[in-house]
Amino acid sequence: MGTTLDIKIKRANKVYHAGEMLSGVVVISSKDSVQHQGVSLTMEGTVNLQLSAKSVGVFEAFYNSVKPIQIINSTIDVLKPGKIPSGKTEVPFEFPLLVKGSKVLYETYHGVFVNIQYTLRCDMRRSLLAKDLTKTCEFIVHSAPQKGKLTPSPVDFTITPETLQNVKERASLPKFLIRGHLNSTNCAITQPLTGELVVEHSDAAIRSIELQLVRVETCGCAEGYARDATEIQNIQIADGDICRNLSVPLYMVFPRLFTCPTLETTNFKVEAAGSPHWNGVALQDTKLGAGGRFLGTGGRKI
C-alpha cells in the first residue's frame, strides 16, 4: 500500500453556514515513513456557468467575458516540510468560513447550467522522484434561516385548453376544466410545497396526474443572456381516471443540492417553477400541462 491522503470533516452531513468554523482532520496513511515538502489545505468556492447546446454560437462573447466566479479561496499550511512516520497520522485543521469584501456565500447548488460548489483540497508536495498527492472533498453551504415568520402568498389556478401554451392544434383537444391552488408561491426551501387540485370536467379519460418541479437558469453577460428550463423532479399525485370534483392534495419536498433559494446576480439567476401534467387516453398519451412560478425573497426561501 502506498501513501494515501483523506479529508474527514467533523460534521457528518458536511453542512455549514457563513461565519461558522469548518473543522476536521487530514488523514495520512502509509506503511513506511514519508518524506514531504509540506502539506497544505485549500478551501475554494466557485460558480461555474455554461450555455446550453442551443445557445452555442449565439453568445460567443459569453465565453470571453464570463469565467468561473470565485467566491472564496483560502490556503493554510497543515504540515511544514519534514517526515511523517509510518502508520496513520491525523492532523486537525480549522477554517473560518468567511468571505472578503462584498462577496456573498451562495448556497450550494448543483444545476445544469449553473453550478455552485465548495471544496477542500489537500496537497502533499514531495520530491521530484515521488508524485505529489492530492485529495479533494466537497462540503455544503446553506443560507442562514431567515428571521421572522414567512408570510404565505396563496395563488389559485385554472387549467383549460385555452390556458395551455405551445399547443399546435388547440381545436382538437378534448374539453376539460381543472382548478386548484397552491398554499404559497413564496416557499421556505426546507418546507414542502403544498396545495390541492380538482378535476371538475374532462371529456377524455385521465391516465395519471403528475407534478413537475422545474429549474429556470439564466446565465450570460452584458452582450446577452441565455435562459433554460430543465426538470428537477416529477412525482405522480394521481393514478387512473380520478373522480370528478375530488380534491387531490399536492405535496412536494424540495430536493436539496438540486434546488436553492431564488438567486439573482449580475451574471446568473436561478429560479424554480411548478407544473401539473396529466395523461389522457384519448390524446394518445400526450402530456398537457400548465406551469406556475415560485417566487423567492431571499434567505431560506425558494
Domain ranges of the chain: 4-141, 155-294
What average pLDDT does the segment 79-100 reach?
A: 92
Q: What is the pTM of this model?
A: 0.81
Residue 46's pLDDT is what? 95
SS3 category, 118? strand
- Give bridge partners of residue 225 from the DSSP assignment: 220
Q: Do domains 4-141 and 155-294 have the same CATH topology?
A: yes
Evaluate whether the domain defined by 4-141 bears CATH number 3.40.50.300.
no
Least confident of 44-58, 116-130, 208-222, 257-271: 44-58
Q: How many Cβ atoms sit within 10 Å of the Cβ of residue 226?
A: 19
Closest by CA position to 273, among listed 220, 231, 210, 226: 231
What average pLDDT does the segment 146-156 reach?
A: 81
Most confident by average pLDDT, 21-25, 101-105, 158-162: 21-25
Closest by CA position to 278, among listed 290, 260, 296, 269: 290
Q: What is 155-294's CATH number?
A: 2.60.40.640
Q: Give the pLDDT band (50/70/90) at residue 87.
A: very high
Q: Give the pLDDT band (50/70/90) at residue 285.
A: very low
Most confident by average pLDDT, 47-51, 178-182, 264-268: 178-182
Least confident of 129-143, 146-160, 234-248: 146-160
What average pLDDT does the segment 65-75 reach?
A: 83
Q: Give the pLDDT band (50/70/90) at residue 17.
A: very high
Closest by CA position to 65, among listed 222, 203, 182: 222
Residue 218's pLDDT is what? 86
What is the DSSP code (8-state) at residue 259? B
Pairing between β-strand 69-79 and β-strand 155-159 as defined by DSSP bridges: unpaired
